Structure 1
């Protein structure tokens, strides 16, 4: 099995698992009377002994540790987003199809929360060979966005594709499509514990409207937890 097919099979399997687990999690956690968001993804029941009693805790899917470089050559890791709500997506600067629409919608998120230190944006290139730090810097400057708010990330290709699968976002090289890469246009909403709390179509204004509302919900949740 070649590298391209390996990623395709993994992404199909993970996408199917995500849809099923998200539906189950949503059905178990959603309550029309409560303004909360579900935790999406796989979950596992872990049993332990506490004070002689058997206690079962639910462990939810969590984005693993990561390390990429942004448009200012700064290292961006899980510590960069620690205690923050963040939105992530995957793109490439020469994308001829959905990326321009995605960036226009992500700019809406940027503009609304650019003065809020508790919200960060992470955009990963899926074409790191072309999208060097210098290319990403120029791209960010054209958008006129601040690095400390919106990080455009590059790094090892396989590491980028692996983390995409952890976000349940498809990304791969594909010489049969225009631009040479195929990827989803989803924005993923991640909470301060690196749990996935929402998935949104980044090319659709109405779905991004929902994202903006959900970010506010998570910010209120964060404030409540700090009290």
Structure 2
């Protein structure tokens, strides 16, 4: 009897491990590194439409932080996200992309659309969001993504995190990748192939 319960326990433990991790075709396991819950939101995208957490929940999605007046990391990050969008499309991985402006008093929907187009974005599954206060995005980024956002009064540049965040269907940030490094960005495809299998 004891042996029987031991086997049942072992099976349940193995089942839990398989659910908690994804495995790639080469057998490599991809484990969540975080379980940070994303706060609820309801913001405006580049087409003037409202996008909320409920709209993206239920499947994996990728988020980052950008602003259109950025003269350093945001252009290459957005180009990298556009390349990622293409790679995911080639793999048949349907995943939503969300870029949150960290300079919302400057970035209106038209500016965000122009910025996205300039860097190769396709808007069928990629939203560039604004429509909130500077204080709101600083709090949201910190609470949802453990990410720093700071704008000094009188300055036109914003200090912000450069990660691409992978969000689970339950609305939890589970992994972060360096959005300025294409080799890191490419890992997201492998992660999603493993998680979504």
What TM bracket, shorter-length normalisation? Answer: 0.7 to 0.9
Worse overlay, 133-142 or 82-91: 133-142
Are the counterparts in 2 of residues 72 and 147 from structure 1 also a CA contact under 8 Å? no
2:127 matched to 1:133? no
User: d(CA) in 2 for partners of 1:93 and 1:149?
Assistant: 19
User: Following TM superposition, by how much is the alpha carbon of 1:103 offset from its aligned partner in structure 2, in angstroms?
Assistant: 1.2
Count of aligned positions:
172
2:194 matched to 1:200? no
Aligned to 1:72: 47
2:174 matched to 1:180? no
Aligned to 1:38: 32
Q: Secondary structure at the match of 1:199?
A: strand
User: d(CA) in 1 for partners of 2:56 and 2:78?
Assistant: 20
Give structure 2 stretches of 5+ with no counterpart: 1-19
Aligned to 2:12: none
Q: 1:30 to 1:217 in 2, by over 3 A?
A: closer
Q: Secondary structure at the match of 2:54?
A: coil
Q: Secondary structure at the match of 2:79?
A: helix
User: d(CA) in 1 for partners of 2:136 and 2:194?
Assistant: 31
User: Following TM superposition, by how much is the alpha carbon of 1:142 offset from its aligned partner in structure 2, in angstroms?
Assistant: 2.4
Q: 1:206 to 1:34 in 2, by over 3 A?
A: closer
Relative contact order higher in (CA < 8 Å, ≥ 6 apart): 2
Q: 1:170 to 1:96 in 2, by over 3 A?
A: same
CA deviation vs aligned residue, 1:30-61 (integer Å, no higher than 9, x gap): 799772322504xxxxxxxxxxxxxxxxxxx3
1:24-103 map, 5 Å:
35-41=29-35, 61-103=36-78
User: d(CA) in 2 for partners of 1:114 and 1:31?
Assistant: 20
1:168 pairs with one of 137, 146, 149: 146
Aligned to 1:106: 81
What is the RMSD of the two structures over their aligned residues, measured on CA atoms?
2.5
- Normalising by structure 1, report the TM-score: 0.68
Are the counterparts in 2 of residues 85 and 191 from structure 1 also a CA contact under 8 Å? yes
User: d(CA) in 1 for partners of 2:184 and 2:158?
Assistant: 24
CA deviation vs aligned residue, 1:56-115 (integer Å, no higher than 9, x gap): xxxxx3112111100001101012112121110101111011111211211121112247
Are the counterparts in 2 of residues 68 and 76 from structure 1 also a CA contact under 8 Å? yes
Aligned to 1:152: 128
Q: 1:154 to 1:180 in 2, by over 3 A?
A: same
Q: Secondary structure at the match of 2:100?
A: strand
Q: Secondary structure at the match of 1:79?
A: helix
User: d(CA) in 2 for partners of 1:31 and 1:63?
Assistant: 21
